[in-house]
């Protein structure tokens, strides 16, 4: 089998469910690592990215609760870097354990990654990225009273969450470092939580109060390190159209023009599947032969064995393979 360079973007359910303790998140990542090692077993060059929405939101709440004049809370960009470090620490150890069990001599390293965004991105005036835990409407209103600068919105029927600006990534600053690690046989953990949002001011990079969508950041990284495939993991095995209706249909092999038509029809929810689909399209359009897969963590084995999942190409796969 031809060796592929694969960027795998982990969804939040691969790290955190309802228990936000360090022990529970470490255990979740041990289970996640068992799936990810399958790529290494078949000879793929693996790069791992991950979200941090619940973690960075929880950290900001913890900081706000204990903030004083002499020990103030850190800004969001620094909190993103902090959670990159903590999740990366857990994940690289979980991967090392599974690699050792599989008899694979591979190193894993976390790169604290900065992602450049535009100072003029409209997202800074229109916060939309959910972070932190879900609240009832009543609790969200009380949180807003306690933190009047925070904005809360209803998130996909699951409750209310705080939202912050989510600018689009322009450049992964440490992409060259990640590529050198992959070339050297190392498995990097990179663009955690979408990367630390920075803007370029003359020769200086300055952090901004924002959280970048991890799927868009993973797509940008996959482009810059010349990946063959971007795999976006979520809670379902396939992308669906007419979701939760009698006409619901799973998408298997689908083209970019087809997905764009579905977007125009409003088939994908803004807070959940839409950014994944948009990131999938970006990678396919911005690379010569790249493909994107959207599926679940639990479906990785079936994808590797039989191609199960939603596979996105520029043209139909049966034509591409002729």
Domain edges within the chain: 5-116+169-319, 128-164
The model's pLDDT over 78-101, given as tens digits with 9 standing for 90+, comes to 999 999 999 999 999 999 999 999
Catalytic residue flag (residue 276): yes
- 197: closest CA among 318, 120, 115? 115
Give the whole-number percent of the chain exceeding pLDDT 70.
97
pLDDT at 26: 95
Is the pTM here over 0.85, yes or no? yes
The model's pLDDT over 104-129, given as tens digits with 9 standing for 90+, comes to 999 999 999 999 999 999 999 998 88
Catalytic residue flag (residue 220): no
The model's pLDDT over 29-60, given as tens digits with 9 standing for 90+, comes to 999 999 999 999 999 999 999 998 888 888 98
Catalytic residue flag (residue 260): no
| Catalytic pick among 88, 276, 290, 309 | 276
Domain 5-116+169-319 CATH class label = alpha beta
Catalytic residue flag (residue 214): yes
pLDDT at 317: 59
| Catalytic pick among 53, 129, 290, 309 | 129
pLDDT at 1: 56
């Amino acid at each position: 089998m031809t060796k592929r360079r694969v960027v795998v973007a982990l969804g939040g359910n691969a790290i955190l469910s309802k228990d936000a303790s360090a022990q529970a998140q470490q255990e979740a990542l041990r289970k996640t690592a068992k799936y990810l090692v399958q790529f290494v077993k078949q000879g793929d060059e693996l790069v791992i990215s991950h979200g941090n929405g619940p973690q960075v939101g929880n950290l900001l709440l913890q900081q706000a609760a204990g903030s004083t004049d002499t020990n103030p809370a850190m800004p969001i960009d620094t909190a993103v870097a902090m959670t990159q470090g903590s999740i990366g620490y857990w994940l690289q150890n979980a991967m090392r354990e599974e690699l050792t069990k599989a008899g694979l001599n591979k190193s894993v390293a976390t790169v604290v990654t900065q992602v450049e965004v535009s100072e003029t991105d409209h997202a800074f005036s229109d916060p939309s990225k959910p972070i932190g835990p879900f609240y009832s409407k009543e609790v969200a209103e009380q949180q807003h009273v306690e933190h009047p600068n925070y904005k809360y919105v209803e998130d996909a029927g699951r409750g209310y969450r705080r939202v912050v600006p989510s600018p689009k990534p322009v450049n992964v600053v440490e992409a060259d470092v990640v590529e050198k690690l992959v070339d050297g046989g190392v498995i990097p953990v990179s663009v955690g939580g979408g990367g630390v949002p920075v803007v370029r001011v003359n020769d200086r990079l300055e952090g901004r109060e924002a959280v970048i969508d991890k799927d868009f950041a993973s797509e940008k990284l996959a482009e810059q390190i010349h990946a063959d495939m971007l795999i976006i993991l979520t809670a379902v095995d396939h992308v669906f159209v007419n979701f939760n209706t009698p006409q619901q249909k799973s998408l298997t092999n689908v083209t970019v023009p087809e997905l764009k038509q579905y977007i125009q029809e409003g088939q994908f929810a803004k807070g959940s599947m839409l950014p994944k689909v948009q990131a999938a399209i970006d990678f396919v359009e911005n690379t010569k032969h790249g493909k994107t897969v959207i599926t679940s963590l639990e479906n990785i084995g079936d994808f590797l064995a039989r191609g199960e999942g939603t596979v996105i190409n520029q043209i139909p796969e049966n034509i591409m393979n002729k």
